[in-house]
Amino acid sequence: MYDLTIQLQTNGEKCLYEQIYEHIKREIKEGRLLAGERLPSTRSLAEYLQVARSTVDSAYGQLLDEGYIEARPYRGYFVCPLEELFLLEENVRKARNPSPILPVIETRSKKETEYYDFSPNAIDMSGFPFGVWKKITKNTLNDGNQELFSQGEPQGDYDLRLTVCRYLHSSRGVNCSPEQIIVGAGNDYLLMLLEKILGRHVPIAMENPTYKRAYRIFQSFAYRIVTVDMDESGMKTSKLWEEEVRVAYVMPSHQFPTGTIMPIGRRMELLRWAGGGEDRYLIEDDYDSEFRYHGKPIPALQASDEREKVIYIGTFSKAIAPAIRVSYMVLPKKLLLRYREECGFYSCTVSRIDQRILNEFIREGYFERHLNKMRKIYRAKHKLLLDCLKPFAGEFQISGENAGLHLVLTAKGEQSERELVRTAKEKRVKVYGLSDSLVASSLGRAAVVLGFGGLNSEEIRKGTELLQKAWL
């Protein structure tokens, strides 16, 4: 039930009860008052509109007579069904076809689309400890924690920052204090903050291909984007010196989409470049560092950063669940000061309740257990997909780099990428052209990205079989 704000004309043209009656009728007809919705009591509406109660009585009476509303004993007046369903459906239909510019939502069920979708963004939620999450949430909301409903610290609550700080150090070798951590609702938001910190019109270097979302965000900042070619070690640093670049955006532990892992030598080159200029910085996006399957752990680039040149960004959306809108940014102390001057007054975008839940989830060891579990699951899928792709070895070069949630297939032959995507689609398999991630001229050979996070082993088998029919 809602208040009804009615602008009553007192010029006497129409009597008040008629105006109220017509307003409510219109509300119902136009689907703003939905069927089953309770109307205000005549008394409260009369008080609210400051008219005589009898006026509202007459209006309601009229609506009753005409069947727009019904009276339920002891409960009050309710809106009748009418064509409400139709109206609602219409609304829903409108919303369910978002304009093509809007990203498609990842919650389609296989049945709907009949697709084997090798999306590199999909993750496996089957292993998520919903029960634990629910339990922690329940405990977090017990009456002892009412202060959680009050405003928190702009950078995020200290306890969570301490936990993240220690997690990053032990798992990624990141060196920082909780004071350097900014908690925010997603990487996109943190990058928006970063614009305020780094300033406008910054010339920024990105690998080609790269993470398209970050590219579009930097574009929306009107940053001048210098695209840098890659070799097998990642970004070629020579161009950084040639061009007037101030910031370089890299994914050293697992570049998207190529999967390249940046060796220590190249990392040192990058740090040397950054060290060569007062205002030069490196943005390290450590987006899926949690999922490495073979070989020794590779620390973050930030771990080798001795001159405070690395801005480290990571998220829990990939390792826990996309709905967990919590990302973190580690700022070099110099930028931290600028953050406090420029953005210190922005309130934190993550509710303290969610921060506490996440903090408990990590502190109690559930996060680590979950990561180990998912690492096993993804390692198995990774291996399975590699096996299933053996038949393709003749015509495709397969690169996976023992990490992450996707592989890259590069055609040795002359097929075009569009051709590969189309023929796969005909077999109801969705693969993603590497050119989706291109931010400059093509790479020559056709290549496609195969993500396996969202598919179960059966789907991986079936999907690759179909790809075989399509491509071999």
Site residues for a copy of itself, 347-366, by CB under 8 A, read 347-354, 365
The verdict on 295 binding a copy of itself (CB under 8 A) reads: yes
Structure tokens at 128: 């998520």
Q: How far is the CB of 179 from a copy of itself (least distance, A)?
A: 6
Residues 312-341 that bind a copy of itself (CB under 8 A): 317, 321-325, 340-341
| Residue owning tokens 């239909």 | 93
The verdict on 306 binding a copy of itself (CB under 8 A) reads: no
In the shown chain, the binding pattern of residues 5 to 44 toward a copy of itself, with x for contact by CB under 8 A and - for none, equals: x-xx------------------x----xxx---x------
Buried/exposed 183-201: b ≥16 CB within 10 Å, e otherwise: bbbbbebbbbbbbebbeee
User: Judged by CB under 8 A, which of 11, 12, 13, 50 binds a copy of itself?
Assistant: 50
Q: Which is nearer to a copy of itself, 127 or 276 (CB)?
A: 127
Q: Which is nearer to a copy of itself, 147 or 231 (CB)?
A: 147
Structure tokens at 333: 């102390």
User: Judged by CB under 8 A, which of 36, 81, 98, 413 binds a copy of itself?
Assistant: 98
Answer for the pair 63, 25: CB distance below 8 angstroms, yes or no. Answer: yes
The strand ranges marked E within 98-187 are 116-117, 181-184
Q: In degrees, to the nearest 5, what angle opens at C-alpha 170 toward C-alphas 288 and 293?
A: 40
Binding piece for a copy of itself, criterion CB under 8 A, among 47-55, 237-245, 265-273, 414-422? 47-55
The verdict on 433 binding a copy of itself (CB under 8 A) reads: no
Q: Which is nearer to a copy of itself, 33 or 443 (CB)?
A: 33
Q: Which is nearer to a copy of itself, 11 or 151 (CB)?
A: 151
For 219, what's the count of Cα atoms within 13 Å in the CB-facing half-sphere?
Answer: 8
Closest to 429 in 3D by CA, of 115, 123, 114, 120: 115
Q: Which is nearer to a copy of itself, 272 or 375 (CB)?
A: 375
For 106, what's the count of Cα atoms within 13 Å in the CB-facing half-sphere?
Answer: 15
Binding piece for a copy of itself, criterion CB under 8 A, among 167-175, 248-256, 417-425, 436-444? 167-175
| Residue owning tokens 């070619």 | 229
Q: How far is the CB of 167 from a copy of itself (least distance, A)?
A: 6
Q: Which is nearer to a copy of itself, 96 or 111 (CB)?
A: 96
Q: How far is the CB of 150 from a copy of itself (least distance, A)?
A: 5
Q: How many residues does the chain have?
A: 472
Buried/exposed 355-379: b ≥16 CB within 10 Å, e otherwise: bbbbbbbbbeebbeebeeebbebbe
Q: Which is nearer to a copy of itself, 209 or 464 (CB)?
A: 209
